[in-house]
């Protein structure tokens, strides 16, 4: 069952790890499991952040890492819980976020036996029963109707309405569709009692957003999604804590982090929109450097889109909206 963790120690480890990486002192980040609050944890150090609800009954994952890190990930989780996987929620169509779906979908042994035993040296395995792999239907549509490099996509259930909700480990879990944001199949996941939101790549602190117009994304939809997330967030005293936000990449945040990120996207969008309305070409917009005051924080030196890639994606998105 569940054991208590030293949250202060885990937060300190996260701060140190992010400092080293962001300042070029670490080449490979160690895999760690951070207790966010209540039943929700954040796995960081892989190519993507993975949100995990660890309850008395089961495990619920939001996104999956590369298969090569799953044994270590499950070893960390086994130190806390021996429960099987019941749900895996895919936030959007992206090879980094679905890479481990095939393996995690086999960990649904309802008894927990053979899945991740405390005495087992292998962290993967188990029966193929009992795991619901959920995404918005546009994720599945993109897999079958577009060209891509994803060899397989394990999805057992899709939803097509504005939201999908279910109850697991004594907690309501609500999956909201964010249309035309980073892509047209983005979902955010709200663990209501734990008061944690997992955003996928809609919110990526320290990185410019990737607005994939080819997959139905748009800058206006991204801003709408960030505003929706802010509507869900209730800050703690002095605007610290309260609802926590687990991003697809980067550090965990709270309300002020999402506000700053939303404002950055909004301001850059308006600068580029103003130039487009005056007839500026993409080359002229890039030359005007509309992200100059944000490049130090978001400009691609930690991975993610460069300032030119971000400017180009916003320009393309706004042009499509005007057509």
Q: pLDDT tens digit string along 158-210?
A: 888 899 999 999 999 999 999 999 999 999 999 999 999 999 999 999 999 99
Burial of residue 125 (CB within 10 Å: 0-12, 13-18, 19+) is: middle
Tokens of 150: 């994803």
Q: pLDDT tens digit string along 196-251?
A: 999 999 999 999 999 999 889 999 999 999 999 999 999 999 888 899 999 999 99
Contact 97, 63 (CB under 8 A): yes
What domains does the chain contain, in order, with CATH numbers? 7-264 (3.60.15.10)
Strands of the 40-44 sheet, one edge to the other: 32-37, 40-44, 50-54, 59-62, 85-89, 132-136, 157-159
> What is the rounded CA–CA span in Å between residue 67 and residue 58?
21
* C-alpha 67, offset from chain centre: 17
CB atoms within 10 A of CB 43: 23
Helix H or strand E encompassing 186: strand 186-191
The answer, yes or no, to whether residue 6 has pLDDT greater than 60, is no
The answer, yes or no, to whether residue 271 has pLDDT greater than 80, is yes
The answer, yes or no, to whether residue 114 has pLDDT greater than 70, is no
Return the pLDDT at 121. Answer: 31
Return the pLDDT at 160. Answer: 86
Q: pLDDT tens digit string along 35-81?
A: 999 999 999 998 899 999 999 999 999 999 999 999 999 999 999 99
> What is the rounded CA–CA span in Å between residue 7 and residue 18?
17
Return the pLDDT at 316. Answer: 96
Band of residue 15 on the pLDDT scale cut at 50, 70, 90: low
CA distances in angstroms from 205 to 127, 153, 291, 303, listed in the order given: 37, 27, 15, 11
């Amino acid at each position: 069952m569940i054991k208590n963790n030293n949250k202060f120690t885990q937060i300190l480890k996260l701060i140190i790890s992010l400092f080293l990486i962001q300042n070029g002192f670490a080449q490979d980040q160690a895999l760690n499991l951070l207790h966010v609050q209540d039943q929700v944890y954040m796995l960081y150090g892989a190519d993507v952040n993975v949100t995990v609800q660890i309850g008395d009954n089961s495990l619920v994952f939001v996104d999956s890492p590369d298969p090569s890190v799953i044994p270590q990930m499950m070893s960390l989780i086994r130190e806390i819980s021996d429960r099987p996987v019941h749900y895996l929620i895919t936030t959007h169509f992206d090879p980094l976020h679905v890479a481990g779906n095939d393996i995690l979908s086999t960990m649904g042994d309802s008894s927990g036996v053979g899945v991740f035993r405390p005495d087992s040296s292998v962290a993967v395995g188990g029966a193929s029963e009992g795991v619901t792999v959920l995404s918005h239907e546009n994720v599945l549509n993109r897999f079958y109707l577009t060209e891509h490099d994803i060899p397989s996509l394990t999805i057992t259930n899709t939803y097509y309405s504005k939201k999908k909700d279910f109850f697991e480990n004594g907690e309501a879990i609500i999956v909201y569709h964010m249309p035309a944001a980073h892509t047209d199949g983005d979902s955010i996941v709200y663990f209501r009692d734990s008061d944690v939101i997992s955003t996928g790549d809609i919110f990526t602190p320290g990185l410019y957003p990737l607005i994939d117009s080819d997959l139905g994304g748009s800058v206006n939809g991204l801003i709408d999604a960030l505003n929706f997330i802010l509507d869900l967030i209730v800050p703690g005293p002095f605007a610290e804590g309260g609802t926590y936000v687990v991003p697809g990449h980067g550090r965990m945040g709270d309300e002020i982090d999402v506000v700053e990120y939303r404002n950055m996207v909004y301001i850059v969008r308006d600068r580029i929109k103003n130039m487009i309305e005056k007839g500026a070409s993409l080359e002229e917009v890039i030359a005007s450097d509309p992200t100059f005051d944000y490049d130090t924080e978001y400009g691609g030196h930690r991975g993610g889109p460069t300032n030119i890639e971000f400017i180009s994606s916003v320009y393309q998105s706004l042009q499509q909206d005007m057509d």
